[in-house]
Amino acid sequence: MINRIHDYMIHNKMIEEGGCILAAVSGGADSMCLLEILRELQAKAGFQLRVLHVHHGLRESAEGDLEYVAGYCAASGIPFEAVRVDAAGYAAEAGMSVEEAARHLRYEALESAAERWDCENKPKSDSESSQQTEDIHCRIAVAHHLEDQAETVLFNLVRGSRLRGLRGMLPVNGRIIRPLLECSRGEIEEFLRERGIAWREDETNEDVRYARNLLRREVMPLLERINSGAAQHIAKAAEEAAETEEFLRIETEKAVKACRETQEDSRARAVHDSQNIENRQSPIIISIPILLKEPPLIRRRVVYEAIAEAAGRKKDLRDVHVQDVLRLAQKNGNGRLDVFAGVSVEKSYDRLIFFAAPEGLRQAASPAPAASRRWPMDAGEYSCRVFDFDGNLAAVSRKQYTKWFDYDKIGAFPSFRTRREGDRITIDESGRSKSIARYMIDAKIPAELRGRIVLPAAGKEILWVPAGLTAEAVRSSDSGRISASYMVSGHTRRILEISWKPAGGL
């Protein structure tokens, strides 16, 4: 098992000669296995090893976890550091679940410790760095294993993820490395028993009120009754999804390069009427004939990248925007379309020209400061209706205070209520989500208002957080955040339309 994990780490470029690994060790079976294997590999692979244990202040038994890990490290000669945080207090202050607060504080502590270690390894003089092209970077090793990967894929899948979410957890993601990602929980525990290494049990892992525990304790056992290799098969599918996404990324880069015209090409052709393209805020120009030769999936990805580059962001960029541009590309004659975040697209003969809004207009369209904005405070400010959808995505409402959702995915009218612990909103099509508390903090909604805002909800999923309305009703491109889990698609059959009309009118 040690040799297999060593090969896996080399294959995924997790370690290098003279590198540094900071192991996150809770005292549970997974992290103790990780620590023991890294201890064994330390001399062979030539890396430095340290341990960080985060005490979240949530359980009386957690003090014993800290003491156990500290004792193991002392006996093994491994540098050890413990960090104490107040997860419950942070959760109350930030308005998020305790579980989410603990995870946030844990990774914050790990990142801080890794940065300090990087600073220690920086060359102290020019002579010391003469043979060194870059600083040594500390990696953070976490103990996610095969079943964790399967649960992550299922979690993303049931929330409506696309290909990116089906990749699950990557072996390497920035500083984070996952050496045990191909090992099963059974292998981990057998390894520890063979070596006589004990581990600590976290009693909260049995609480099925948490989605992860529910998947682990109830859903995965049912799937394994169908096929005993369910976890392995799901994890393998995640690996192939990651490989497919990487392949598509490379193919998209090639396609963008093939489709995109340079400014020199544009000046040479001089076909855009009397307008001088080089004076139009560095437009992105795509050849329609070359674009349409690409497979549909690559076409969509090329247009997505062009819109995102022109807009300067990907947040809130949806498939419906991409489809609008593709319809423009295939229509007869020339045309123009306002797409997303101040980006407009012109069809000029056989080219698509993506223009960003001038900087001055972008600033004028920015939302007003939070202090001068207001949000829905009464369920009566909302109205709903359900109607059949003919599949025409061009008809999807883009009004600032009217949003469309896939009613069949929701299955019922939403409830309109203030936020509750555990509420989340899915923020992109890969299935990533945020707690509503964290979203409100990031959106700079005043703390005194967060608990009073009324929102449409389907269970624990918030469907829409409208952008705050200014007292002067100044329009902007910001319409807040809608859940990516219930967005309208070409497969939608019934629409749930939700409108917000503030008390007193606009």
pLDDT at position 47 is: 92
pLDDT value, residue 379: 82
Confirm or reject CATH 3.30.465.60 for domain 262-364, answering yes or no. yes
The pLDDT of residue 383 is 87
Residues forming CATH 3.30.465.60 domain(s) in the chain = 262-364
- Spatial distance between the Cα atoms of 91 and 105, rounded to a whole number of angstroms: 10
Task: Indicate the Cα dihedral angle 171, 296, 342, 272, nearest 10°.
Answer: 130
At the topology level of CATH, where does 2-245 sit?
Rossmann fold (3.40.50)
Residue 388 buriedness (CB in 10 A; 0-12 / 13-18 / 19+): exposed
Residues facing residue 402 across a β-bridge:
499
List C-alpha distances in Å: 382 to 65, 128, 340, 463. 50, 66, 25, 13
pLDDT digits (tens, 9 = 90+) for 149-208: 999 899 888 866 678 778 889 999 889 999 999 999 999 999 999 999 999 988 777 777
Return the bridge partners of 500, or none: 382
| Per-residue pLDDT tens digits for 93-109 | 776 678 778 888 999 99
pLDDT of residue 404: 93
Structure-derived torsion over alpha carbons of residues 194, 200, 203, 208, reported in degrees to the nearest 10 = -50
Positions in the chain short of pLDDT 70: 95-96, 123-136, 159-161, 209-210, 262-281, 315-316, 357-373, 469-479, 502-506
**Residues spanned by CATH 3.40.50.620 within the chain?**
2-245
In angstroms, the CA 389 to CA 77 distance is: 66
Output the pLDDT for position 4: 94
Residue-level pLDDT at 149: 93
**pLDDT confidence of residue 125:** 56
Nearest to 99, CA basis, from 199, 216, 204? 204
Cα 310 from Cα 339, distance rounded (Å):
11
